[in-house]
Structure 1
Amino acid sequence: MLEQAQHKARPSRRWKALAAAVAVGALTVGALAPAAAFAAPRPDTVQQGLDALARDEGVPGALASVKKGDGRARNYTAGVADLATGAKVPVDGQVRIGSNTKVFTAVVVLQLVGEGKVALDEPIETYLPGLVRGDGIDGRRITVRQLLQHTSGLPNYLKADLRPRYYEPRELLDTALQFKAEFAPGEKFGYSNTNYVLAGLIAQRVSGRPLAAEIERRVIEPAGLHHTYFPAPGDESIREPHPKGYYRDAPGAPLRDVTEIDPSWGWAAGQMISTNSDLNRFFAELLHGDLLKPAQLTEMKKTVPAEKMGPGAGYGLGLVSKPLPCGGGLYWGHGGSFPGYETRGGVTDDGSAAADIAVTTQPSDPNTMKHVESLVETALCR
């Protein structure tokens, strides 16, 4: 989602974001003897879905983690981690998590709000004086809340022809300011990575520390996310066991390995690396109230309609809400796209159940993203 509704970027020209999906299979099991003696285990819908993804939809690798309300967790894999060697997908391997990074950035900003250092309805001019000016753009008219909720009207810097190299955050902002405002601040929802570049710059200015250090200190360490990090400048690698990420230039074109890439063009909007289980833990602790004070968590969950994020979706301050199809209320998450990887997941409103799925290329069928999101919902409903 490093784009207006999903990340879209291209390794040359404009980087395209990749989409991913899971198709859910069905299995019928019968028994000729008493159930107590010979009943077959209930089919595992998540494993079936991942297997179908790798078998039928051209995705090299897929991995998932599901945590149930009773605290039990299970990790899944399907496909291969490396098309050249056929190596197995590492269980709970690291992936680039794209726009899930936005939630980490939002938590840092909201913690600063709770400390009285930032005000949600204060203009961004207060914290970044004179920095935000452009055609129809004025930092004196845009609030911090509007940044976090994508209601600022700021254009997305990914409208430009970005090349694969290192970018400073200010360079990303300057790129965005070449374009005209999309709409007046507060008028409607409009997904833009520029919002979170500015949110990251505010966090740095107010805290006096780099954003990566604040995310580490305020979120990663307290939540015990041992496999999550914000790559350092120039770090194009993925530290721990991981499936390779692949990119297809066009439908039917060969898959290219894009695992090693400079992620700085995502920065506060999409630079981080994590695992399925770490993301589940992060969202569960966030919804449980372990990372924010009650007042700030309440503000985070105040949403505006965001149908571009899915049917019935709402966007809060870095969190996306969607209705559970089984009638269990809402679930919360975000999702992320980055060249080579797609992640989708969510956690129930009370933080008790969580599911996260990652895949390692753009699917050839645009409907497959609906499949993966449906599989997340199925896992949460069960």
Structure 2
Amino acid sequence: MRWSATALLVFALVGCSGGGEVPLPAPQTPAAFPPPATRTLAPDKAKALQEALDQIVEFPDSPSGSRGATAAVVTDHWTWSGAVGTDSRGTPLRPDTSMAVASITKTFIAAEVMLLAGKGELNLELPIARYVPHRLTANDATVRQHLSMTAALPDYQPADFARMDRAAAAAPGKHWTLAQSLDFADGHLGEPGRAYSYSNPSYVLLGMLIEKLTGQPLATALRRDLATPAGLQHAAFQDGEKPQPPAAVDNDQACGAPDGYLPCRAFASLAAAPGGLAADAPTVARWGYQLYGGRVIPADLVNQMTDGDGQYGLGTMLFTQQFGLGQAFGHRGDMPDHTSLLIVIPAKRLSIALLLANGGRSIDRRMTDLTNAVAPLLS
């Protein structure tokens, strides 16, 4: 999700007759991954992974460099995590340092919606307006179209972000509801279903859908249905939850003094559904393994999330062969002080999370360095 310069830059994505809801049909179901490993990678083998991480801080001002980075790898045989450098305030990073992981949050939103659909509580092929009446649902785009970002709902525009900046700077500690965050979205609706176009407002509407159907605040529903079953110990769905220490402190002048949120409560709540998650690299990597490995929602629902021949599935970026080792799924995220990337390569039962302590970085290159270092360790 892109914000203007003084604030957040990027969070940087079965019909039935009579309208009744039924559980989604089950296509051919891929086998779920085995449990994630608990054994850590031997130090002599982990050296190559740490060296790949260390290279990121050698030229911190380069497009793919950073002042600091953390990373984690989860497989069915071993795990690894590492850290290098500092956050924006000069505090040394640890493998368990939380950062704002921005649009990786969308994988949770999509997974929760799919879980509700699989239980028959909603129909992906019905207009989202059936569940969430709103001026931004007036074009009758379906729930599935909002998940796939084909709902023709434009993203926030520069003027929208500027208004968000001013509102947050005026009251950094304010809580904004999901509906209130949509007051800043002034784009004109188009005809849904024609083309992919990245849209953070679509994911705000999906967050409102989750709250409507579960009767719970978004953070409560995601914690109960996804984070707890997946065993995520160090994730915070802001602003319903605060990041757990240690957490990298942002250097956002509009926020004033740190208040325990990333970067502060106003921005965290404005971004809650499309990009509010704060977590450390091991947690993000474990989430990827559990989600795309079919261990937290049924594998046939995961198969729908990762289906497609374009760049986006349902709350999931499709990376084809971009990082080597096979087809990859996951999501990027971007904030002023954090760039993040989660990839899962099902053919290798491999999940990797990389978090950089700078925003707007070319993180894909650094992820490729990591996959190249991981490849010899997967025999």
TM above 0.5, yes or no, is yes
How far apart, in 1, do the equivalents of 2:219 and 2:46 lie?
Answer: 42
Percent identity over paired residues: 23
Provide the residue aligned with 2:58 in structure 1: 55
Query: Which blocks of at least 5 consecutive residues in structure 2 are unaligned?
Result: 13-43
Among 363, 368, 372, the residue aligned to 1:374: 368
How far apart, in 2, do the equivalents of 1:351 and 1:111 lie?
Answer: 25
Provide the residue aligned with 1:27 in structure 2: none
Distance 1:149 1:379, change over 3 A: farther
- Where 1:334 maps in the other structure, the secondary structure is strand
Kindly indicate whether residue 210 of structure 2 is the aligned counterpart of residue 206 of structure 1. Answer: no
Residue pair 1:223, 1:285 contacting (<8 A) in 2 also: yes
Q: CA deviation at 1:325?
A: 5.3
Distance 1:206 1:350, change over 3 A: farther
Provide the residue aligned with 1:341 in structure 2: 338
Provide the residue aligned with 2:74 in structure 1: 67
My pick for the range that moved more, 341-350 or 143-152, is: 341-350
Kindly indicate whether residue 82 of structure 2 is the aligned counterpart of residue 76 of structure 1. Answer: yes
Residue pair 1:288, 1:350 contacting (<8 A) in 2 also: no
Among 91, 96, 103, the residue aligned to 1:99: 103
Kindly indicate whether residue 287 of structure 2 is the aligned counterpart of residue 282 of structure 1. Answer: yes
- Where 2:289 maps in the other structure, the secondary structure is helix
Provide the residue aligned with 1:193 in structure 2: 200
- Where 2:352 maps in the other structure, the secondary structure is strand
How far apart, in 2, do the equivalents of 1:154 and 1:268 lie?
Answer: 16
Provide the residue aligned with 1:360 in structure 2: 357
Q: CA deviation at 1:299?
A: 1.5
Kindly indicate whether residue 173 of structure 2 is the aligned counterpart of residue 168 of structure 1. Answer: no
How far apart, in 1, do the equivalents of 2:76 and 2:48 lie?
Answer: 17
How far apart, in 1, do the equivalents of 2:345 and 2:364 lie?
Answer: 19
How far apart, in 1, do the equivalents of 2:88 and 2:336 lie?
Answer: 16
My pick for the range that moved more, 116-125 or 154-163, is: 154-163
Post-superposition Cα deviations, 1:351-377, rounded to whole Å, max 9, x if no partner, equal 7211111111136xx6x3342232344
**Structure that is richer in helix per residue:** 2
When the two structures are aligned, how many residues end up with a matched partner?
326
How far apart, in 2, do the equivalents of 1:247 and 1:370 lie?
Answer: 25
The amino acid across from 2:181 in the alignment is: L
From the CA coordinates, give the structure whose radius of gyration is larger.
1
Q: CA deviation at 1:43?
A: 8.5
Kindly indicate whether residue 245 of structure 2 is the aligned counterpart of residue 240 of structure 1. Answer: yes
Residue pair 1:110, 1:296 contacting (<8 A) in 2 also: yes
Residue pair 1:196, 1:268 contacting (<8 A) in 2 also: yes
Query: Which blocks of at least 5 consecutive residues in structure 1 are unaligned?
Result: 3-7, 20-40, 250-255, 307-314
Structure 1 vs Structure 2 CA RMSD: 2.9
Q: CA deviation at 1:298?
A: 2.2
TM-score, scaled to structure 2: 0.77
Residue pair 2:8, 2:335 contacting (<8 A) in 1 also: no
Provide the residue aligned with 2:152 in structure 1: 153
How far apart, in 2, do the equivalents of 1:371 and 1:246 lie?
Answer: 25
Distance 1:276 1:78, change over 3 A: same
Residue pair 1:245, 1:361 contacting (<8 A) in 2 also: no
Provide the residue aligned with 2:122 in structure 1: 118
The amino acid across from 1:180 in the alignment is: H
Kindly indicate whether residue 273 of structure 2 is the aligned counterpart of residue 273 of structure 1. Answer: no
Q: CA deviation at 1:348?
A: 1.3
Among 224, 234, 237, the residue aligned to 1:217: 224
Distance 1:158 1:101, change over 3 A: farther
The amino acid across from 2:142 in the alignment is: T
Distance 1:188 1:93, change over 3 A: same
Post-superposition Cα deviations, 1:171-194, rounded to whole Å, max 9, x if no partner, equal 222322x2223x421111101101
Provide the residue aligned with 1:322 in structure 2: 319
TM-score, scaled to structure 1: 0.77
